[in-house]
Structure formats: C-alpha cells, structure tokens
Structure 1
C-alpha cells in the first residue's frame, strides 16, 4: 500500500516536468517566430527600410551588392557617355523619377533601386503602370516626414503607397522607418555640429541615397555629382539642375539658393562636403566629374 503513494507522487512530478518542458518549447518557438518577423535573427535585412505590405507584416530590405553605381539626376550627366559603364555595374541606384528612356547613352538603362522623396511619389503614381508594373524588378525606397508617412491612416503619402502595393503586389516598395530618419538627422548633426531642424533645413534625397548605398554596397561609384567647391570655381560648367529638365534653373543657382535659405531648403553644398569626408572612410569614388579627395 505504501508503494502506491510513491507511484502517484512520481507521476505528478513527471507530469509537472512534462508541462514545464512544453511551456519552454512554446516560449522558444515564440522567440524564433518573433526574431523572424521583426528582424532580430540573422540575414533579416536592413532594419531601417521596411516594406509596405497590405497584410501589415514586417519585412525589411534584404539586399547587398558588391558594387553600386549611384547615378545623380544632375545635368552633369548630359553628354557623359557613361551609360555602358553604369549598366555593367552590379546594382544601379537612381533618385526620384529620373528617367532612363532617351538618355540611355549617358545614364544607362538599368535600375536596381530608386530612392524617392515623398514629394516625388505623385509623379511615380502618375505613371504607375511604368514604375510599378513594367519596372517591377526595381526596388523603391521612399523617405518622408512623419506627417506624410505615418501608418495610422493619416499619412497621405503612405496611404498612396499602400494603395500601389495593393494594386501591384509584385512591386517592391519600402519606406525609411521613423527611427532611420532620426538616425540620419543625427548623422547630419555629428558631421556638421548643427541640428538639422534648428537650421530649418531638410535632408535631400541624395543624402538618404548615399546613406542607403553605404548600407547595402561594398563599393560605390557616384556618377554626375559635383563637389562642394564646384559652384565657386570661375571656370565651372553651367548645366541644368536635372538632366531631363534642360530649360529649368541651373544646378549651381539651385544649390546656392537652397544653401542660403533660412527655412525649407536643402543644404546641398554642405552635404557634398560630408560625402567627401565619407569617401575617405568608405570605398566611394566620383566620376563625371571626378573629385579631388
């Protein structure tokens, strides 16, 4: 009779151990799923760039390139005859709605990644069949302030991109996260000693593109970007601000106006000085024109 209570006690202990083991397995399973979903595991991509999905699931930009061509939208690209060289580089990064059709000889025809300002999103949507269907292999990375990119239904640009993601499920559309936007502000302040908000400036699409290129590329060749001293040289070339808008304001005029405006401007010239500094620490070179680093 004494053996029976011992058996029952053993069974209870065994059942308790089994329940504890099951709870531990469930907990570890939860951690694995969480890591896969939120990017805390390995090979989960760049956390600062989150895909816009209709199902709301987290998916970060998972792209790495040995070599990248970052193609400026500057008028410097006109008559550069760099198209063949650009197309032979592993990944080609462009900005906003800069076209390739009709300019292939100078800027190439391939586009791997296109970094887009919130203000340029309507221009892409205006030609949505081309950008989100014909160019479905292109990855779009969109930046913008919180008021336009908020995801609570009150962000007009985010809502527009969400609509494109639903309409074109194969389109790869990513948004720079709020945390990454703040990180870029901190980078600007660390490089200049100035608070971006207090100076009344906005970071340019070029700035976010350079940050992304350093995140995803081992080596970067920048085409068509002038250095910070170009506009002060007496013998500088006079070109349009964009190679595809040849009757608009000149590049240097645009840079000088933005650099000196008190509120709402881009600090293009200051940013070029930052890029020159980055080029001493990263594998970055500049062509058409070349930079004397």
Structure 2
C-alpha cells in the first residue's frame, strides 16, 4: 500500500513538472520585444529575398524596350546599375506640362543644384552658380537678399507637392527678380517641377494643382510640370533597387532633394551640387541651419539624425545621401561644393549602409525572433480542455495535501514545543 502511494506521488509530481515546463515556455514566448518605434511589420516587404529578383526582372522590360544610354556613362555597369541608369535617363520625359500636351524637354550642359542648407552662408558661391547653364533650386528657397551666396538666377525650381502651398504665400518674393520686375525673357522663364513626395497618384483637382494654376495665371514666366503615373512608379523602383526595400510599403517620404537629384541626372550632363551635407559632417555636433533663410529653424544635422532613425514617418536624408554618393562615383558627373565630398570609401557593390537601414535590419531581426517565439508558443501551448484543467486542478490539490501531510509528519517527528529533539 505504501509502495503504491509513493508511485502515485511520483507520477503526480512528474505531471506537474511537465505542466510547469509548458507554462514556462508559454510565458517565455510572450516576452515583450524592445519596441523601437510603432513600425508596422505587416507592411514591410524586404526585397533581399527571392521576391527581389521578380521585381527587378519586371523592371528589366523597360531596358529592353528602350536602349538609350547617354555617352560618358561607364559601359561596364552591373545589370542592376544599368537598369537604374536606364530608368533615370527617361525620367524627365515622364513629366507633362500642366496645360499643354507636352512632356518635359530640357537638356542642360552644366547644372548648379542649389541646396537650401545653411552651409552656403558666407561662401560667396553666387557668381559661380549663375555661370551654370541651368540653375536648379528647391521648394521656396529665396534668392533676394542672399544673391552673393546662392546666386540670382532660377531656371528650374523643384517643388514637392507638400510644399506647393509655400509658393503661394511667398510668390512675389520667389518669382520677381531682386529689382522688382517680372522677367519676360524666355531664357529666364522658370520651370516648376512638381514631384509627388509620398502619394502614388496625382489628384488633378487637389489643392496642389489649384495653386499651380493660380500661379500660372498670375506669373507669365512660370511653367508647371507634373509627373505622370509612370514617373511615380519609376522613382519608387529606383529607390527599391538602390536600397533593397520599397519605400511605399513604409511610412517615409521622399525628400525634394531626392527628386531633384534624379531630375538633374536625367537632364544635365555635368552636375554641381552646392550646399549638400555629407553624413560624416554630422557625426559631431553641428550648428548649421537646415535652411539658410530660416534663422530660427531646424539645425540641419539634428534634423537629419532624428528623421533617419524614425522607422514610421519622415524623410530619409542620410540614406538618400548615401545613394547620391554612389551615383557620384558610378557616373562621375556629379561634383559637390560647400562642402566637397570624400568618395574614397564609397563601394557600389556592397550593401548600402545608413542609420535607417541599420535600424531596419535590427527591426527585421526582432521580427524574426518574435515569429520564432510564436512558433514556440504554438508548440508548447497550454491545453484548455475541461478534462485537462480538471486533472491539473486535482493534481495541484493532491500535491498540496501531500505537502500538508509531510509537514504534519515532520512536526510530530520533531517536537518544536520541546527544548530537546
């Protein structure tokens, strides 16, 4: 009888130990992962998998249908880089006039791409900028009062759709020359290119188009061009191939600088970029203003860093500049001034490296771990059937009773009320 009793105790103990193990693994699998942001992993499409080949293969049809490749570009480009080049070269033709049925047909031998950075202040680059065949500016960056550093001319102004509203507020400042008269010379007509920074469609009745039409009626020297749907797709495809992930599946926006560099490569033979910051300059604290014309605005480097590591909104300034560095080394027709860029460490064949991509890789790693824990959770899931729960409860009660009996036996064996044992 006593032997049978011990077997029962041993069996119940094993049963409980097994259940405790299941519960432990169940709880462990539900540990909270370190939440870096509100990043939506369900929307993430990583093209470092087999899907990447399918997407690139689809894009290659563009290359087969259009064999144009500009002179001066390396004939030894990889298939991937050749495809990107092909897409860039045809991008300008994917912008159409706001009123006329014509695509953008503008070619420039030398282009001065003038950034809005505070790094241009006190550099006296204005005269050199104005010597270029085409001067390209962005958004609502003014020239009046800053001619010595940023020049006077504006041939092309690239304005992100989210920034068109600022044109209306400062139209006289932006579209009148410093002396106050409207320039009627055709050479001084300003082309306004309106790329879309985040939407995948162009709403022809939206506020951006309405503002563009109002400004066209107000200033005869302005011509507005808006992207065709194909242009929106191509810009996304270029970013996808260069970085390895699809921007439209994240919650980030293209910068106006990204769209401007793409357009410049499409229409300019030689590109001189003024005032674009290379990331290395931001490794230390830097007080440079994000915009030269906003004295109390963002500090450039601080804004770059804050935006770069945010996985669910904003711009990817540093990631985009890492791509620009590759283009400068790949095509050899881009020069950076104030500051100049050191491209010696740029490797076009290695995986692109930037703080955002690093954070994205960590996020992917955490997602993999979470999925593994989900598998463990399924594998060691605690049964919830009534019979199992009843047996588990009875087993717990049985063990408690046995523990009580052992405690009682120990108390009888050792008389704690006595001074001797």
TM-score relative to the length of structure 2: 0.55
Q: How far apart in 1 are the matches of 2:124 and 2:241?
A: 37
Displacement after TM superposition at 1:256 (Å): 0.8
Structure-2 residue corresponding to 1:292: 342
For 1:18, the equivalent position in structure 2 comes to none
Q: Is the 8 A contact 2:200 2:232 kept in 1?
A: no
Alignment of 1:196-207 (within 5 A): 196-207=247-258
The answer (yes or no) to whether the contact 2:91–2:234 under 8 Å persists in 1 is: no
Q: Write 1 or 2 for the structure with the bigger share of strand.
A: 1
- 1:241 positional shift: 0.6
Structure 1 residue corresponding to 2:289, chosen from 240, 244, 249: 240
- Compare CA radii of gyration and give the structure with the larger one: 2
TM-score where L is the length of structure 1? 0.77
Whole-angstrom CA distance in 1 between matches of 2:92 and 2:298: 37
Aligned residue for 1:214? 265
> After superposition, where does 1:1-293 map in structure 2 within 5 Å?
46-53=92-99, 57-131=100-174, 134=182, 137-144=189-196, 145-146=198-199, 149-151=202-204, 153=205, 155-168=206-219, 170-232=221-283, 234=284, 237-282=286-331, 283-293=333-343
Q: CA deviation at 1:164?
A: 2.9
After superposition, the Cα gap between the structure-2 partners of 1:189 and 1:168, relative to the gap in structure 1 and judged at 3 Å, is same
Which residue number corresponds to residue 26 of structure 1?
none
1:49–1:60: 8 Å Cα contact kept in structure 2?
yes
What is the match of residue 8 of structure 1? none
Equivalent residue of 2:248, what SS? Answer: coil
Deviations 1:71-96 (A, max 9, x none): 11011111111111111111110000
Structure 2: distance between partners of 1:184 and 1:241: 25
1:183-242 CA distances to partner (integer Å, 9 max, x unpaired)?
11111111110110223211100000000000110000000001132211x3x6420110
Unaligned runs of at least 5 residues, structure 2: 1-89, 177-181, 344-421
Q: Distance in 1 between matches of 2:291 and 2:251?
A: 24
Report if the CA contact (8 A) 2:139-2:159 is conserved. Answer: yes
Query: Which range is displaced more, 81-90 or 212-221?
Result: 81-90
More helix by share: 2
- Paired with 2:132 and 2:222, the residues of 1 have a C-alpha distance of 23
String of CA shifts for 1:62-120, please: whole Å, max 9, x gaps: 11000000011011111111111111111110000101111111111111100001122
RMSD: 2.1
**Offset of 1:148 from its aligned partner?**
7.6
